[in-house]
Structure 1
């Protein structure tokens, strides 16, 4: 990298940059930096003359990696990585010394105030100048009492998205690890260095200033900040935003046609708007809490009763959280549901209150790409009409209609719902009556209570989860005026995950590195403990959708009657077996009931062995059939088991995957080419004289993303196997039961009838239920080895679950919905292909679809890391999605069959946003 600058540039400053790079290269754990390449005569910096103009020239090595420039969205991992990189750099520069660091630089935040004044003088846009000036005055006012305590050291002062390079982590997200520009290195405020980094992130923040908190946390973990520095950080971020905006506005005033300035102007205006739009006290509190400092608790000692007529200990707190017991069948979506529950409880108990610090389920927002504002910063109290409300501390009363604010020493009390004759501006003594509750003719009334530390602020009633720490410090809990039960415990998903990891066996994986704690579902939606609503696009277990009320009622009723094993005689097992047999093709008239797809496939293989007296089984590469010994043996997906291809027992004979998209033969008419391998495997078995027990395959290539098999493949494969006395097993665990829309069974798409059908997953809607359907003579072959028994398979509850699922599938026309909504969803995904080359193909039918990502549509290079990052980004946008396929480069789209058209459209929009804005 050849760097050229005008000769007017101070040579000592360039020498300082080179010296800093060499200093870092000598550090064992320093960030990556480019090498300084000396000239042939050994000098680092040369002077050259071009057209009578002198220039200073130096050569730096190229630093490989991807930049973060021009990306609208940066994931949290990248933001945190930028903070950690800034900290590592500052830590390793702390003992660096050079005279070239002591210079006057426009970007030095120690001089932000005077620099802003100088820049403002040249700005002709009066409105812009006034906004910039006011922001700087406010920032300097907060900084002045802190400045003397801020550490000074050598700082890079420009670790921004423009000046770093990155590498992808295990989840495909770019993590910054190298720095490429030392042009602003100075002796300056340490925390000012971090402020520069944080400010650069604000144009990636989608308007949310709290987006920078992971960067600050990561910085502090590497190079701890002092409390005074944490308090100075936000005003320094605002100061940096002001200097950026003022500099650009000044440049435009001087040179309106400067394309470079215009190219950066939108970003810098976004940074300015986000920085100046945030409440500074809230941001300071959020920063302090993020890195382990806390805000001093509110002093409530000596406060008198707010509700002198009420026994505080008798206030009944209601649970409006995600796990609230009064929320059933989506009643939380009804208008004023929170108030209805509050009033019901108050009527029963006398006085009731909502809980401060609770993530309200009623404010969860389905089909939203942003988290809800549902963290309660107040309490609502329902109490007898006529109850007195008194001042817990002395203060001045501010009144706007029915909204009252008692402004005391360092705290304000906001009250709504009072009947009061007091005037605005009245001085109130502690214990004096402010007003009463309720109106004439009403038995109960409501009072809203909120505390706030900032006298001039009208605080919001709710905050988002990521803002909760900041806002709860400024609007502390009013439980000192109520009771301890009126504050909700904060959910701690990380502590719960630690407990899970400590006791739950490690091979039992979970989705996502940092998974949300999901505790409620409804239809195609899942809710975490923060009330975030996610669209569930991967859960093919819940065919009907989550928490179907009809199924819930049926299970509860049957469990209240009987649940035992299938060797007892009861109606449900006979009715369910008959129902399944009638759904299968003619001749498949015998049913086994088990608990899972793995057990169903295992049993199917045992049936093939018992009926044929042979052992050899054929299966397809890239397939997954289960975790039991037999079903795992015929599973060859290396995504599920990296050792799959080298650990199959000798009775398993995998054949080439008939993958019509990326296999050796492409297109729907490639059956003959793929059957060559299957035929050769059969001939090899023939030559050994061992015989064939059977062939197991999904009729649609599920694990590869719902890829259709070539036309006629199964028919000819089945013929070849049956000619040798083998049985053909259709694994319908994932693709059957109406999921394909046009067909109830996957094998119908290939115009074949298998000898054995295995099903599970969706047939129980999450209840452990599986089945094997076959011919009677095959089923009875097993008796030669003894009888078959499954304790819970076919239990009364399981059978009622199975019958009810089939009833609902029929009554709610969910197979038809899978066809109609699936076609709509697939069409929307195909439209994205024209705009985003990363999408190589859209596979599948109905509501079993797969979007395959490739880096090159000709070479079909799997975009594995990108797919992982896209799934993480979709989680941010409110969609649950996971990768599948041997290369983990296919989106596994298998939502509940109740998926609504608007939900399908939302998924397409979310994927579009992820691909458009970055991931």
Structure 2
């Protein structure tokens, strides 16, 4: 904090921190620890050798590096003055106290605190839950600077204000592990992502009529990652746009309408020719009985199921296999780049969410399938900033070996969770791979996900099921902290 303050002071001549500010620099990555983040003091950078005077009448209780001036109703604590006065000196308001320490033509540093108790040395910071008491006992010294150096209270103190790696920090500095799958794949706050986004924003921050250099570079990288044969890449807007394009391509290629969706798929819009089935067996029967099936729609990763018979019949009737890789691609499952590889599937069309929070979604397919889409229906060019962001994320995944980290940490966490399942009947099953793990819970543990909050946030949209989907930078420390917290909560059931 002092380095940042000094940097600003070098440019402007003087600068200060603010009283009542929750300093995220005082946060902890331990979700169970409440940080001492509320500033009860002000640090100020002021030109050295500037004279300082007593703001009120009082007695110097101590002098030297930590000067304490005790008044009738208030005590002032100052650090950073050169004071030659003796202890117990009586001062009137306006009497000289000393000068700002430091060499001529340099910037000195002051630390200022007020306290109502003359016998107490007030802390520099306090915990969010202690703000009411400490802020009354230690009011703001802002008036000493002649400016308003007070921080307004945050409007939404429990809402995220900052993200870093797998952590979210609220406005008071409390941390939470983000396991929801909504974090960027490489984690929050990666400097490579920020640098790439900034550079491309300076160059060009709008989609033109034709694909930008950044878009073409991203398409080339994705083509290298694509399964054999799926060499044509379309960029789309979100999962809904990707699903719509996948269905259009399948219907255009097969001249059929029916789409059979396997269990576990989300369908955001109504489609009269879409049939969600309860089981693979039902899907097989429908493909046998119907001649108008354009495609079978499956998730890239899910419950173990034998699709061999369904796919054999589907291929015989010239139908296609569409795979939804939302949330499962780019090595999240550890051993494979794509989720469908875990299931031994060979899709004709794959649609994928972007490799970071703001990157475009896209679709991969074979060139002969892509050729069925009229050129005037091709998705428009994407913003080059989003493309540059996605390229940077892919580079980070490769260079920082995040897939290897996913495999190692995911295996470690799953082993720990399976060990808990052996000891606690409240866990009925642990499934998944890499950093996509699912905990199925017995009735008595149905509220486990809510009890993990606010320090640990996971997907609890399905009753009695806890879905863990952290970013690929997830650390062993965080994995152990999560397992320890689950164990503690299960011990209380």
Short-chain TM bin: over 0.9
1:596–1:768 contact (8 Å) kept in structure 2: no
In structure 2, what is the equivalent of residue 695 of structure 1?
A: 296
Contact 1:388 1:436 in 2 (8 A): yes
CA deviation after TM superposition for structure 1 residue 426, in Å: 2.9
Q: Report whether the alignment pairs 1:907 with 2:482.
A: yes
Shift in Å, 1:893: 1.0
Q: Please state how far the C-alpha of 1:435 moved relative to its aligned partner.
A: 2.7
Deviations 1:877-896 (A, max 9, x none): x32223133xx222221111
How far did 1:730 drift? Answer: 0.9
Name the counterpart of 1:252.
none
The change in CA–CA distance for 1:837 and 1:580 in structure 2 (over 3 A counts) is same
Structure 1 residues 714 and 517, CA gap change in structure 2 (3 angstroms): same
Q: How does 1:108-257 map onto structure 2 within 5 Å? A: none
Q: Which residue of 2 aligns with 1:613?
A: 255
> Against the structure 1 CA distance between its residues 350 and 440, is the aligned structure 2 distance closer, same or farther, given a 3 Å change threshold?
closer
Task: Give 1:652's match in structure 2, choosing from 274, 277, 280.
Answer: 274
Distance 1:393 1:801, change over 3 A: closer
Alignment match of 1:787 (pick from 338, 360, 376): 376
Kindly indicate whether the alpha-carbon contact (under 8 Å) linking 1:493 and 1:517 is maintained by their aligned counterparts in 2.
yes
1:879 pairs, out of 456, 461, 470, with 456
Q: How much has 1:759 moved relative to structure 2?
A: 0.4
Map Cα deviations across residues 402-457 of structure 1 (whole Å, 9 max, x no partner).
Answer: 32322222221112223223333332222222333215678332221111112222
Partner of 1:592: 234
Q: Please tell me whether residue 683 in structure 1 is matched to residue 288 in structure 2.
A: yes
Larger CA Rg, structure 1 vs 2? 1
Do structure 1's residue 519 and structure 2's residue 178 form an aligned pair?
no
1:741 aligns with 2:334: yes
| Residues in 1 aligned to 2:162 and 2:144: alpha-carbon distance in whole angstroms | 32
The one-character-per-residue Cα deviations of 1:182-210 (angstroms, maximum 9, x if unpaired) are: xxxxxxxxxxxxxxxxxxxxxxxxxxxxx
How many angstroms apart in 1 are the aligned matches of 2:107 and 2:492? 51
**Structure 2 segments unaligned to the other structure (5+ residues):** none
Q: Closer, same or farther in 2 for the Cα pair 1:440/1:810, shift >3 Å?
A: closer
Shift in CA distance, 567/453, structure 1 to aligned 2, threshold 3 Å:
same
Q: Take 1:778 and 1:612, find their aligned partners in 2: how far apart are those partners? A: 9
Q: Which residue of 2 aligns with 1:384?
A: 47
Could you list the structure 1 runs, at least 4 aligned residues long, displaced by more than 6 angstroms after superposition: none
Judge which range, 608-617 or 832-841, deviates more.
832-841
Cα distance change on mapping 1:609 and 1:365 into 2, 3 Å: same
- In 2, Cα distance between the equivalents of 1:615 and 1:589? 25
SS of structure 2 residue aligned to 1:750: coil
Stretch deviating more after TM superposition (406-415 or 904-913): 904-913
Contact residue 396 and residue 406 of structure 1 kept, 8 A: yes
1:484 alignment partner, SS class:
coil
**Contact 2:352–2:361 at 8 Å: present in 1 too?**
yes
- Which residues in structure 2 correspond to 1:383-422 (within 5 Å)? 383-399=46-62, 402-422=65-85
How far apart in 2 are the matches of 1:353 and 1:799?
Answer: 39
In 1, the alpha carbon distance for the partners of 2:30 and 2:384 equals: 37
Secondary structure of 2:313's partner?
helix
Tell me: CA distance 1:790–1:465, structure 2 relative to 1, closer, same or farther (3 Å): farther
Report the CA distance between 1:773 and its aligned residue.
0.6
1:867 aligned partner: 448
**Pairing 1:752-771 to 2, within 5 Å after superposition:** 752-761=345-354, 763=355, 765-771=356-362
Task: Determine the structure 2 residue equivalent to 1:367.
Answer: 30
Map 1:349-364 → 2, pairs under 5 A: 349-364=12-27
For residue 325 of structure 2, what is the aligned residue in structure 1? Answer: 732
Q: Secondary structure at the match of 1:896?
A: coil
The residue aligned with 1:258 is none
> In structure 2, how many angstroms separate the alpha carbons of the residues matched to 1:867 and 1:355?
39
**Equivalent residues of 1:655, 1:681 under 8 A apart:** no
Match of 1:656, SS state, is coil
SS at match of 1:617: strand
1:593 is paired with a residue whose SS is strand
Question: Closer, same or farther in 2 for the Cα pair 1:560/1:453, shift >3 Å?
Answer: same
SS of 1:487 mapped into structure 2: coil
SS of structure 2 residue aligned to 1:413: strand
CA contact (8 A) 2:359 2:387 kept: no
C-alpha distance in structure 1 between counterparts of 2:57 and 2:148, whole Å: 26
- How many Å apart are 1:676 and its aligned residue? 2.7
- Residue 837 (1) aligns with residue 425 (2): yes
Q: 1:802 to 1:346 in 2, by over 3 A?
A: closer
898-907 or 770-779, which moves further after superposition? 898-907
Q: Is the 8 A contact 2:249 2:372 kept in 1?
A: yes
- On the 8 A contact 1:732/1:759 being kept in 2, the answer is yes
* 2:414 maps to which of 826, 830, 847: 826
Name the structure where strand makes up a greater proportion of residues: 2
| Conserved 8 A contact 2:284-2:313 | yes
- Could you tell me which of 472, 475, 479 is aligned with 1:897? 472
Aligned to 1:531: 173
What TM-score do you get using the length of structure 1 for normalisation?
A: 0.51
Correspondence for 2:128: 465
> What are the superposed Cα offsets for residues 557-584 of structure 1, whole Å, 9 maximum, x if unpaired?
2222234446415433333323322322
Closer, same or farther in 2 for the Cα pair 1:801/1:480, shift >3 Å?
closer
SS at match of 1:435: strand
Provide the rounded CA distance (Å) in 2 between the counterparts of 1:801 and 1:715: 38
Shift, 1:460, TM fit: 1.3
SS of alignment partner, residue 485 of structure 1: coil
Do the aligned partners of 1:699 and 1:714 also contact (CA within 8 Å) in 2?
no
The change in CA–CA distance for 1:446 and 1:573 in structure 2 (over 3 A counts) is: closer
> Is 1:799 aligned with 2:387?
yes
* More helix by percentage: 1
1:729 alignment partner, SS class: strand
Structure 2 CA distance for partners of 1:609 and 1:349, relative to 1, 3 Å? same
Instruction: Tell me, in whole angstroms, the C-alpha distance in 1 between the residues paired with 2:450 and 2:187.
Output: 27
Which residue of structure 1 aligns with residue 147 of structure 2? 484
Q: CA separation in 1, counterparts of 2:222 and 2:13?
A: 54
RMSD of Structure 2 on Structure 1 (CA): 2.3
SS in 1 for 2:467: strand
Deviation at 1:803, TM superposition (A): 2.5
Whole-angstrom CA distance in 2 between matches of 1:541 and 1:452 = 42
Determine the C-alpha separation between the residues in 2 that align with 1:714 and 1:774.
20
CA contact under 8 A between 2:211 and 2:382: conserved in structure 1? no
Using the alignment, how far apart are the partners of 1:776 and 1:562 within structure 2? 30
Q: 1:768 to 1:569 in 2, by over 3 A?
A: closer
Aligned length: 493
TM-score by length of 2: 0.93
Measure, in 2, the Cα distance between the counterparts of 1:883 and 1:456: 51
Report the secondary structure of 1:534's partner residue: strand
Q: CA offsets per residue over residues 333-357 of structure 1, 9 Å max, x none? A: xxxxx11122222233332221111
Higher relative contact order (CA 8 A, sep 6+): 2
